Amino acid sequence: MCSIFRYLVVNMKIMSKFPSLQNVLDATKATVVRFPLEIIAALCGTFSAIWSVDLDYQDPNRKLLAKAIMSSSLCLVLFLSISLFFISYNKNNFLRFLTSLLLGSLAVVFVFNFHEPLSQVDIIQFIVLNIALHLLVSFAGFLPMNYNQDEFWEFNKRLFLRILTAGLYSVVLYLGLTLALVAIKELFNVNFDDKIYAYLFFVIAGIFNTIFFLHGVPSIGRNQQSLQLSYPNGLKNFTQYVLLPLISIYLFILLGYEAKILVLFSLPIGWVSYLVLVFAIVGILSFLLIHPIAHIEGNLWMRTFNRWFYYLLIPLLGLLFWAILYRVQLYGFTHERYYVVLLSIWLTIVIAYFLFNKRPRIKFIPVSLCVLALLSLVGPQSADSVSRKSQLIRFESYLLLLEKAKLSFDQEKDLSSIVDFLEKNYGVSIFYETKAKRAIALLVKKDNSPSVYKIAEALGFNYRYLYDFENGRDKHFYYNYARSDYGAIENIRGYDLSFNISKYNNIECNNCIELDGVKYSLKSIKKEYGLDLQINNDVIPLKIVEFINKSPDFGVVYSSDKKIIQTVDTPKYHVLITYYDVNGVKEGKTKKVEGYTLKLMIKIK
């Protein structure tokens, strides 16, 4: 860690000797000539980001620009991988640019086929592809040349340090220029549009940071001099005295937990699989960090770790498979569980490779992970295909149960999560592929975009929210109106007043509104049955508590798209109450209301 900091400080000292403008231009020109398509991708992403700043939040073009930014980021990394390969192979630029444009077009098509708005599946696929392409950068330049373990390690070390350096310079430059703009604004009364700070951020992050990083990418290839291994002493100290002891502590904790569940014959908790994965991945990174000096005499601690690490991973690998496959058996595949299983398989392959190969290559780690990540994106074995098929099978099995008997609370909760997963990621059209297509077709005739609550109702079961608990049915109740028209302009024709009120605030205004020459004062007073609404000298009792207790709609469901309304009529006024949210405690058959938010619309007769 100290060496990394020292490296950054040395670079800053060098840069502190302010270069001439001509030198900066020459360095920039050399970088553009070396990586032209990468710079174009960075410019496209930056301009798209700046353009999106000027658009309203609801502007549909923002969705297109978001995809343009995502495409640009993928193309930047993809183009760099292809450039490193062809430069190393010493081939002409025409073939390099043609390959870049063809594969870049596939990346753009891949992104622009995402849903609008982006679904969770789309985001996962984008992240996985981004990781795969970054891994490709680490070894693309070594594919056409004789493999040199030390040069491979040195190349990736320099890339990593260059990323840190570019990030540090970008942050300092942005903060410095932002402070300068603030100083000009405050000292000289110069008004800047607040968007200028966003413009500045995207220019520095998208253009300056990219050019600065690309300028420091090491040159490798058949006709290039091999990179000489340079292992920082500070990195050795950090790994030996900080990172490895921490890994050892977590190793003993996980092994102790595994021993506990074996002795007690209990099942592992679900999130332990994530903990084992994090431990294994951090351990492998540590293994890579110490690899050049792991066999040097005097590094006993590192030699021990390097020798025994993969053996110690074997029992944890068993715990990992046990935990995740048990979850898959209960709830089927989702994208998250798919990738946990995939990483478990990858760890198994890596462990076997390093245990049985007498001369293992560390390049195998990023290459194998990159290949598996790409395979998980498309085809029948992909995360999306496997998860979709798994949840559809489970959905069909519940439909058969629904035909025979009423589902239990836990079954309704499980089916609700399946419906939620399918609707959120694939839309209501996914249900046309199931036996429920007739019920869904009738529902869609009434509502083009039905919610999961209405889908559940159409299928004949009660939607259960994730945090609904059967044991808590007699204790708490919740209601939240899931409004799809939030923020929309409403037509209130026929009413004279409209305002929101909750249990935690009162309304009080004197002569605050005038209608047909008459001034009106309003005041709300809390009562045991709800509240009294006073309009001038008239008092209207709003029996909210009584209405909530009588209505069966205020159950344990956390959120619902069913609007609940109450009307109150007096000789002078008609009051329409819309319930936005209600919560409280059940005491026997009585609901004790603890909070509510209401919308009141009043018509003066």
pLDDT in tens, 258-302: 788 788 777 676 678 888 888 888 888 888 888 888 777 766 777
| pLDDT at 339 (0 to 100) | 96
Judging by beta carbons within 10 Å of its beta carbon (0-12, 13-18, 19+), is residue 67 exposed, middle or buried?
Answer: buried
Spatial CB neighbours of 582, under 8 Å, sequence gap ≥ 6: 477, 478, 479, 548, 554, 593, 595, 596
CB atoms within 10 A of CB 568: 18
pLDDT score, position 15: 47
Q: Alpha-carbon distance 50 to 64, whole Å?
A: 13
Question: Residues 231-268: pLDDT tens digits?
Answer: 888 887 887 788 888 888 888 888 888 788 788 777 67
Residue 19 has pLDDT above 60, yes or no: no
- The whole-angstrom separation of Cα 450 and Cα 427 is 10
Task: For the chain, give the mean pLDDT.
Answer: 87
**What is the rounded CA–CA span in Å between residue 233 and residue 256?**
34
pLDDT bucket at 469, cuts 50 / 70 / 90 = low
Q: Mean pLDDT across the stretch 418-430?
A: 91
**CA–CA distance, 189 with 191 (Å, rounded to integer):** 6
pLDDT band at 46 (very low <50, low <70, confident <90, very high): very high
pLDDT band of residue 383 (cuts 50, 70, 90) is very high
Q: Nearest 5°: phi and psi at 569? A: -120, 135
**pLDDT above 50: residue 476:** yes
Q: How far is CA 530 from CA 91, 476, 575, in A?
A: 80, 19, 14
The pLDDT of 544-554, averaged and rounded, is 86
> What pLDDT, in 10s, does the model give residues 552-598?
777 665 566 678 899 999 999 999 999 988 888 887 778 888 889 99
Spatial separation of the C-alpha atoms in residues 130 and 289, rounded to whole Å: 23
> In the structure, what pLDDT confidence band is assigned to residue 489 with cuts at 50, 70 and 90?
low
